[in-house]
Amino acid sequence: MLVEGSNERPEVVTIASEAVFKTYEQICLDKLKEIGKSTAEKWSFAMGYQHRSSLSKVIRRIKQKYPNKLKIYESKYPRLYEAI
């Protein structure tokens, strides 16, 4: 704060922030981690889609690119997905 009659200059503080870019698959995994263990239907509704199978291609890409970040419970129907 400057006081009238003062010859002081305000200090300029520059905060450098690194931009973190995420792929859509990583964004989807973050949302799944936020909502917890879920079906594809609940996961796609949480991502803002109106149909339950909207994330099917994204789930396939996640299984290919990040197989260690997604746990799939296939013994149960409907399948449950969990982000690790």
21-46 confidence digits (pLDDT tens): 889 999 999 999 999 999 999 999 99
**pTM of the complete model:** 0.71
Sort 3 into a burial class: Cβ within 10 Å, 0-12 / 13-18 / 19+.
exposed
Q: Which residues pair with 72 in a beta bridge?
A: 81
Tell me the mean pLDDT in the region 39-57. Answer: 92
Domain layout of the chain by residue ranges:
27-83
Report the distance separating Cα 81 and Cα 83, nearest Å. Answer: 7
- 70 beta partners: 83
pLDDT value at position 21?
A: 85
pLDDT tens digits for range 1-18: 555 555 666 666 666 677
